[in-house]
Structure 1
């Protein structure tokens, strides 16, 4: 009995110990996973900070914006939305209030600045009512991350921001509204922020008024950030950068006026791979470029760089540079002729919209995108090069886009595609003085999508042989000397994908080729996939190790997959009638047959062109009534002017049949809806007054 009692007592003791152990374990687990409890004074400071704002949905532009303050209800502020506390001390160390729909001002006495343990402060995408960044910001000395972008701050950036010596990331972008923008100079003492690895001051500029709000006039960049040797990402507005670790610098489209000294000695410490100084109002090539030998991407577009391209510019990064873009400047030419571009891996070369004279620069065989359009390239050509260099033809296996439009080039187009391996997709030599025939080797450019040779002096027959190019979508032959009848070729080739055809202002003769052009399958077929751009984007990118990858950018027109959208045969010598088969091109948006010698009536079938928004048959010899209703109701006099025998709306001349006015109602109802009845009516009138039957306009 006593033994049994002892066993029972022992079991109870063991059970009690087990329960105690479970309780202790559970308590330890609960303590380890529960959120720290915030300090009362910090909770109070946060609530007072909250009360200084009103919630306004329009204060944030981000689509996913929501007011985080609405969830600040529990006693433990460490559980509030947007708040992070230190796991050990319970102090608030992070305040994430970006896109929180906050509207109001932040003053120097704001309780925000009593949160002295803050390490992260994000207030972006709110509206702080044009208040200045308070000088009290300097009290948050533990901050490592500060984001004030897009929040309607105004005024001088305070000196005290330089007290935030632990900052590694500072973002004050997108304060470019004229009524809410930083102005003045960035404090020189920002160089005290030696731990900065990311600095973004971009887009503090109003593109409408062209007013610059954040000026960096007086100090050069070396003085401004001389101690920022850990800087890896810099997006502001430039001058001289001594950071050896900086390899990627994008300062484009800030519209600051930058001045570079001749002795930019410290710039040689930075070996850039990507450098974008577009729209920085540069007036000459930055001298520090002379020491760059590892560039892979150089963009100097939309500046005011003038004069000659100096020889030293042709010696930078010869073995590494695949992309050079210097369009929209005032460059006059090269210092030495002829120019053979030295960059052995060059893929994209853009010198468009300058004032360059002389011969075309000769690219290397690696070239993919060559754009020398809108210059004044002309003059005597060295015997060492041709007018359009044959090297372009030799490199055509890689060349994808060739744009030489709007120059003064003369001579002929050389044989560009020497074999069927060419990758050429677009050639534009319009607005020059090129002569002769189109090179038949173009038919070997099997990838061609666009041929633009308008506004030249070509003398050739219609290039029906281009119909074999199955990818060809745009063919522009206007304003040349093309001649003869547009006839069907011997072989069965029919421009299977053509979308835009412009043959205007040539010397084509004969009747409109209704049995040929208007039966092309591409012009009639409809594939319901919607509008798209015929384009491909230049997609050169830099990964973490800055490996270069390339694509190509060009844009031609908006089109509808599988149907002709635009047809221009104006200003030729075409005769005969307008084919009724044009009515089958149901996706046409623009039709121009003006300034020819066309006769007969305007076919009623053209009313089937429901998308037609531009129509011109002026200055022909057309007769009879203008079709009424549908799209024809929106065309004005200019669409029909210069046809003396044409009548009906919108012309002031009415159509008569033996003295009877055929008005809009008859034209709309009888002609449009009851053609059989109308013919019967006309025949009846003919029998009734047969001796005097005639059209009078």
Structure 2
């Protein structure tokens, strides 16, 4: 009997030890702190806040309130490992901040910083880093970012960085999204005189370098062929010309066939399209706004070169009526374009007849031109902007009577000397 009780007691002691051990681990024992957050990473975040930024707007006011950094605002952790995997430090309302910097009083929140503390590299599992829309006061993009080898997403847009993009970013072989878009209000003065590092981003899908000075780079198009996964590219206001993107690559047709989105607005393209666009057979979005395309070219041929595009932006391209002259009387434009922006051009007098044959059009922007003739029916069009033209009578507009049109904007035209309000 004594032996039986002794054996039962041993088992009870073992169960108690097991329960205590399990409770300790659930509370954050072992490699984890008692707050379910790695102590090293918790301290790293606090160092980053203390030594890298000023948080005058209280964006990170929750940091340090509890010992569990996984509960801090803008910090994301892996549920299983409790490692920090994401930092969402981007400004919530970037438009407000931009207005604030040109003199308007708005309520907003953003971080102010200088050089970034090396403690950030202790977040060894970090996959998502967003510091967009903050003010890093024209400091350099830190080379240490290249040490965050697990990064999939990196957004430094509108954050007031300047100088050369560090080559170390090319070490981020897992990166899928890279956004270093420089806002014109930030005067970032970011640049790149060598982009050979981009060949290390073999998994990159989205690249936005808008506002970064790329004018010194030779054969920029060849670099793009080294990233077969890339399908979104934005190079707006980069000082790029035909010389940068006009050459051909042996495998250009194969490598560029996945492209969906291309923004080359506000550059120095003249006349014809860059040759690489011809090989983007899946392209659905194309923006060439604010390029000097005043040379004589046929809109018909232009559309035939981009048969898959559904949104085309040609605002401020110095386009004139002669560009819309059909090559033959039976011309019909077969395209997939649903959204067409031709605003801020030199289209005057008679409405371009060729546009009426684009039966896929859903929205059309012809604002800030010199049109004054009746607009014919376009079957599926539901939005038309013809503000800032030369219409003098409501009858001249014509299309306003058509029931399928849901939105018509005619502001700042003239009706017998009076402006048409809407």
If the length of structure 2 is used for normalisation, what is the TM-score?
A: 0.67
- Indicate how the Cα distance of structure 1 residues 26 and 556 shifts in structure 2: closer, same or farther if over 3 A, else same: farther
Distance 1:276 1:338, change over 3 A: farther
- Unaligned ranges ≥5, structure 2: 92-108
SS in 2 for 1:154: strand
> Partners in 1 of 2:399 and 2:128 — Cα distance?
63
Deviation at 1:49, TM superposition (A): 3.4
Q: Which residue of 2 aligns with 1:57?
A: 56
Instruction: Indicate whether 1:430 and 2:421 are aligned.
Output: no
Q: Distance in 1 between matches of 2:172 and 2:279?
A: 34
Q: Aligned residue for 2:172?
A: 164
Q: 1:290 to 1:20 in 2, by over 3 A?
A: closer
Which residues in structure 2 correspond to 1:400-439 (within 5 Å)?
Answer: 400=382, 430=391
Structure 2 counterpart of 1:330: 318
CA deviations 1:151-206 (Å, max 9, x no partner) are: 3322222222223333333232345445544234363212212122332333x3xx
Aligned to 2:113: 104
Q: Give matches, 1:15-30, under 5 Å.
A: 17=11, 20-21=14-15, 24-25=18-19, 27-28=21-22
**Alpha-carbon distance in structure 2 between the residues aligned to 1:116 and 1:400:** 51
Deviation, structure 1 residue 304: 0.9
The 1:396/1:163 distance shift into structure 2, 3 A limit, reads closer
Q: Is the 8 A contact 1:42 1:92 kept in 2?
A: yes
Distance 1:290 1:25, change over 3 A: same
Is the radius of gyration larger for structure 1 or structure 2?
1
Write the distance in 1 (CA, Å) between the matches of 2:119 and 2:283.
48
Alignment of 1:145-184 (within 5 A): 145-184=153-192
TM superposition shift of 1:329: 2.1
Matched ranges for 1:408-557 at <5 A: 430=391, 445=401, 447=403, 536=407, 554-556=408-410
Q: Deviations over 1:190-241 (max 9, x none)?
A: 2212122332333x3xxxxxxxx5324422333333322222443x31xxxx
> Does 1:268 pair with 2:268?
no
Distance 1:403 1:196, change over 3 A: closer
> What does residue 257 of structure 1 align with?
240
Q: What is the distance in 2 between the residues matched to 1:73 and 1:131?
A: 30
Using CA pairs under 8 Å that are at least 6 residues apart, name the structure with larger relative contact order, 1 or 2.
2
- Alpha carbons of structure 1 residues 17 and 556: separation in structure 2 relative to 1, 3 Å: farther
Distance 1:443 1:255, change over 3 A: closer
Which residue pairs with 2:331 in the alignment?
A: 340
- 1:635-674 pair list within 5 angstroms: none
Q: Deviations over 1:35-61 (max 9, x none)?
A: 723666655554443331464435xxx
Is the 8 Å Cα contact of residues 154 and 175 (structure 2) preserved in structure 1? yes
Cα distance in 1 for partners of 2:340, 2:21 equals: 69
Name the structure 2 match of 1:71. 63
Alignment-derived partner of residue 463 in structure 1: none
Aligned counterparts of 1:297 and 1:77: Cα–Cα separation in 2 = 41
Q: Is the 8 A contact 1:53 1:102 kept in 2?
A: no
Residues matched between the structures, number: 382
In 2, distance between residues paired with 1:34 and 1:356? 72
Structure 1 counterpart of 2:195: 187
As a proportion of its length, which structure holds more strand?
1
2:266 alignment partner, one of 279, 289, 309: 279
Instruction: Give the match's secondary structure for 1:189.
Output: helix
* C-alpha contact 1:98 1:122 (8 A) present in aligned 2: yes
SS in 1 for 2:139: coil
Q: Which residue in 1 is equivalent to 2:301?
A: 312
CA pair 339-264 structure 1, distance change in 2 beyond 3 A: farther
Q: Relative to structure 1, is the Cα distance of residues 218 and 448 closer, same or farther in structure 2, using a 3 angstrom cutoff?
A: closer
1:127 to 135, 152, 177: 135
- Distance change >3 Å, CA 371–CA 220, structure 1 → 2: same
CA contact (8 A) 2:232 2:260 kept: no
1:301 aligned onto 2:301: no
Cα-Cα RMSD? 4.9
- Structure 1 residue 132 displacement after superposition: 1.3
The equivalent residue for 1:366 is 359
Deviation at 1:106, TM superposition (A): 1.7
> How far apart, in 1, do the equivalents of 2:184 and 2:382 lie?
38
Give the direction of change, closer, same or farther, for the CA distance of 1:85–1:266 in structure 2 (3 Å limit): same
1:233-252 equivalence runs, <5 A: 233-234=232-233, 236-237=234-235, 251=236
Q: Do the aligned partners of 2:53 and 2:114 also contact (CA within 8 Å) in 1? A: no
* Alpha-carbon distance in structure 2 between the residues aligned to 1:299 and 1:274: 9
Distance 1:323 1:179 in 2: 29
Matches within 5 A, 1:5-16: 6=1
CA distance in 2, matches of 1:189, 1:398: 46
CA–CA distance in structure 1, aligned partners of residues 368 and 73 of structure 2: 56
Question: Does the CA contact (< 8 Å) of 1:373 and 1:405 recur in 2?
Answer: yes
SS at match of 2:296: strand
Q: 1:284 to 1:117 in 2, by over 3 A?
A: same
| TM-superposed deviation, 1:429 | 7.8
Change beyond 3 A, Cα 1:33–1:197: farther
